[in-house]
């Protein structure tokens, strides 16, 4: 049986100097901001047992992500940024995602020499960029960024759900699940919905 691919420092080791990983979460949801994280792992101090747990955030249970969130903050430089629903509707979700990644990198206290970015779209950054499709499952730095971004955004959506309890954001994180779409039809559009996204735009047309 072939060995399953897991993150490593193989991409990081292609460069000298400081390497950061960048990832975003929240392109697809109908509601909430898009969030990006930039992470520079301090390889000299991060325990190997933690590295063995770091992977694509989608493959990690929520409880484990919460633990890794704390551990990554302890052994890495971390910066988080978000672009609002208003920005998403104004400049589109792709540009908002790229902007969030740029803001996350700018927020790092240590400036990286190169950035590894998940996907195939390169944000405008003040350092060289390498895009890696599926990078959150291949690079420790990107995987760590994916964990940070997802944990942050999921918890943000849980907080927003307290004020708008009908849409199930505490479990669907704003994605267009059947429950969310039914609630959108019944209860209407909130300030946290992305008006440029088709299901929300269609709902708005019904009340225009």
pLDDT in tens, the chain (208 residues): 334 578 999 999 999 999 999 999 999 999 999 999 999 999 999 999 999 999 999 999 999 999 999 999 999 999 999 999 999 999 999 999 999 999 999 999 999 999 999 999 999 999 999 999 999 999 999 999 999 999 999 999 999 999 999 999 999 999 999 999 999 999 999 999 999 999 999 999 988 6
State the Cα–Cα distance between residues 164 and 25, nearest whole angstrom: 21
Q: Helix axis angle, 198-207 relative to 178-187, nearest 10°?
A: 20
Q: How far out from the chain centre does Cα 196 lie?
A: 20
Domains for the chain: give ranges and CATH numbers: 12-207 (3.30.420.10)
The alpha-helical segments, DSSP class H, found in 84-139 are 85-91, 93-106
Task: Enter the pTM of the model.
Answer: 0.95
């Amino acid at each position: 049986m072939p060995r399953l691919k897991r993150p490593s420092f193989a991409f990081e080791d292609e460069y000298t100097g400081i390497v950061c990983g960048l990832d975003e979460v929240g392109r697809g949801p109908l509601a909430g901001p898009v969030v990006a994280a930039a992470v520079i792992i301090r390889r000299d101090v991060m325990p190997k047992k933690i590295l063995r747990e770091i992977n694509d955030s989608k493959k990690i249970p929520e409880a484990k992500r919460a633990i890794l969130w704390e551990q990554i903050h302890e052994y890495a430089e971390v910066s988080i940024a978000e672009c609002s629903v208003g920005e998403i509707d104004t400049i589109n979700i792709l540009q908002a995602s790229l902007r969030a990644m740029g803001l996350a990198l700018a927020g790092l206290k240590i400036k990286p020499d190169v950035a590894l970015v998940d996907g195939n779209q390169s944000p405008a950054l003040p350092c060289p960029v390498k895009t890696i499709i599926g990078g959150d499952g291949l690079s420790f730095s990107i995987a760590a960024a994916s964990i940070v971004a997802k944990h942050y955004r999921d918890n943000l959506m849980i907080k927003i759900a307290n004020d708008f309890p009908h849409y199930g954001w505490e479990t669907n994180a704003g994605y267009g699940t059947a429950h969310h779409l039914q609630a959108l039809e019944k209860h209407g559009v909130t300030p946290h919905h992305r008006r440029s996204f088709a299901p929300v735009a269609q709902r708005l047309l019904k009340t225009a």
